Chains A and B, each alone.
Chain A
């Protein structure tokens, strides 16, 4: 889902393109449906699942056809912001005999179009869940974030899954996602027939992913909060995809923090990426970021300054214990891999710009 902007503006619900041509047969393997299939995670997961024999069919749901869609993939043009989308989703689930649904239609970066984002994320999740009530699926997997716990001076160094989601109440980006988690949690309670797995991913870094974080660390001067140096935790993009694949293959319900091993202070992260930190006192940091955000010059609204001040690090032990998920990259390796690709990008820019 790396570049959530790809989800594009609202479009009308059109007829599916290439689905009706194929005759209906009960597939021997799993049928996996993905919402937000053209996001970073969706796109790459489709590519991974295409290669997996245990998956017989992939149902891609998005407003754009993902480029990775291959032989097994059927694409349906679905816009979750449309009012009657739940009936259409239920229809698709029934006709394709979907057993696993990955709900990943979320924005990976804060947007100024907050009303639209609310329709897509909070209300869109309601639509998806309504469709699951109408035509139950075997398993429902939700993409969530560890940043929803919120950065706070009261946080313990490692937040367990039981910690309440206390993301900044003024941040609509976080609030929409917290609302989505809440409706999914109540769905899990009321629908015992469906296994619900929630994966809370740490901020994703890697060579190909693009989000607010990669843009923030990609600045030549990276603003930080003077006198604060919180420990940061990242997840490599490969591990993010691996976690979703694991959730598809194993039937383990529950909420899991998916995080890279180890932590790094923000200053070390900036040094490792070869950038220069620009410390700004926190009383002026919020107004500055607020002004830059209004002028569309900043990656994130001022509520994200909290993450440069306080801890927001999650505990990945439960995922290791129950989901048997062990990340391949540590936080440091994720940063280095990201920095490596940034450097190549810098070199490329040097060559192409006069």
Chain B
């Protein structure tokens, strides 16, 4: 009995709101029997509170505004004068101001609030009066059984987190959440930026690999686009994790959402752990310097950190694939930085671009510059022993080589490009 109720009514609702609305519905037919039969029931005060409100609501409504309306209508037939129009308007105003009219809304709000704050009681007891109003003990025992069942837990959990999976991986990627956002990234990838990909076959299908890319555009969506490119174009549809700078990772909302989508806070320990699990990892060694540079310095690679990514690759024997992204700089051309705002928000910079923050969240899409992503030849790190990761000279040499490779590809692509928007 209880299970049937559970199956179709309060828990079948997609969100707390429909659930409470549907839980409210059976109240008017049940209220008489419930009020009559069950004096000691806990639900009763709520029912009786609701009952007069509902009966009172329609009763005065036709009572008070109707005569004035009639009068107004009658006056209109006799003589369509200024007075009649005023009377009509008065009546309308009365109707709008009448507390009886607005009370059901308030009641609805109140009951909804109550349902929100005490979900278990409401849910447990809502089916009880409707289901078996005769016996005192029986309905409650049914509810108790229901509360203790795994089924209840699963359903209740699901209604609350229907858009998220119940499990995330070690670094917080929520597969369900990421899947829900895929259409948005696909739209941006296919229609808005019309991303062109070159050399994706350089990315191996299995085994650890580090993609080192230039960081660009004041609002860094390049990690997500790189992940989309691999998902759509790569034969193995390799899942990609990318490292995000601290400031974005710990910014309210942004960090929490990015984490669910697959970003990982940039630090050596995290990167090493991911690579030891044979992940495909994207790194942006320029870091904040790469995305905070003004538009006139576009496509000029900044310092590649202190070579942490090279040390990491040597230590874990990970091949590095240089990745060049063209187009992101024109997507979010940073006009200037707002110093005061960034100090207020505790960010290293707040970009002012032609679209952001003028267009709000929509401005995040930026300008429809055409993107091109080029995956270069892998740099194998097998030749080095793990101890050599401490060899500063070697690390610097490799780092410089990697940087020159990416800068060279950038220059080649920029020379070949005819137009920013057409590619």
Contact = CB atoms under 8 A, between A and B. Distances in A.
Interface string A313-351: 000000000000000000010001001100110110011
A343 B121 CA distance: 11
Given A220-B117, A226-B252, A347-B124, A272 B147 contact: no
Contacts of B157: 271-272, 274
Q: Determine the main DSSP class of B at the interface with A.
A: helix
B232 interface: no
B159 to A, nearest CB: 9
Contact of B116 (A156, A276, A347, A350): A276
A262 B165 CA distance: 14
Contact of A158 (B120, B147, B168, B170): B170
Interface residues of A, number: 37
Interface in A111-140: none
A157 B140 contact: no
B255 interface: yes
A268 B164 contact: yes
Nearest to B253: A227
B42 interface: yes
Contacts of B167: 262, 264, 332
Contacts of A347: 124, 143-144, 147-148
A228 interface: yes
A193 interface: no
B358 interface: no
Given A158-B273, A227-B253, A268 B168 contact: yes
Interface in B42-69: 42
Interface residues of B, number: 47
Interface in A282-318: 282, 310-311
Interface string A246-290: 000000000000000011110110011010100000100000000
Contacts of A268: 161, 164, 166, 168
Interface in B134-151: 140, 143-144, 147-148, 150
A350 B121 contact: yes
Given A157-B265, A158-B273, A351-B140, A343 B152 contact: yes
A231 interface: yes
Interface string B344-372: 00000000000000000000000000000
A238 to B, nearest CB: 18
A313 to B, nearest CB: 9
Nearest to B121: A350
B168 A264 contact: yes
Contacts of A332: 166-167
A228 B124 CA distance: 31
A271 B253 contact: no
B117 A221 contact: yes
A118 B255 CA distance: 37
B256 A227 contact: yes
Contacts of B253: 227
A3 interface: no
Contacts of B125: 350
A228 B259 CA distance: 11
A339 B252 CA distance: 28
A192 interface: no
A263 B118 CA distance: 28
A179 interface: no
B9 interface: no
Contacts of B249: 153
A262 B174 CA distance: 12
B267 interface: yes
Given A274-B120, A346-B120, A231 B153 contact: no
Contacts of B265: 156-157, 311
A156 B267 contact: yes
Contacts of A5: none
B402 interface: no
B156 interface: yes
Contacts of B156: 274
A276 B161 CA distance: 11
Most chain B CB within 10 A, of A153, A336, A347, is at A347
B148 A344 contact: yes
> Most chain-B CB neighbours within 10 Å: which of A268, A310, A336, A354?
A268
A265 B168 contact: yes
Given A229-B259, A268-B161, A274 B153 contact: yes
Given A220-B120, A265-B172, A311-B265, 11 more contacts: A153-B249, A154-B267, A157-B270, A158-B170, A158-B269, A158-B273, A220-B117, A220-B118, A226-B252, A343-B147, A350-B121
Interface of B: 40, 42, 116-121, 124-125, 140, 143-144, 147-148, 150, 152-153, 156-157, 160-161, 164, 166-168, 170-172, 174, 246, 249-253, 255-256, 259-260, 264-265, 267-270, 273
Q: Which 7 A-B pairs have the closest CB atoms?
A: A227-B252, A156-B269, A229-B256, A227-B253, A271-B160, A347-B144, A271-B161
8 contacts: A156-B265, A156-B273, A157-B171, A272-B157, A282-B252, A346-B120, A350-B124, A351-B140
Interface of A: 153-154, 156-158, 160, 220-221, 226-229, 231, 262-265, 267-268, 271-272, 274, 276, 282, 310-311, 332, 336, 339-340, 343-344, 346-347, 350-351, 354
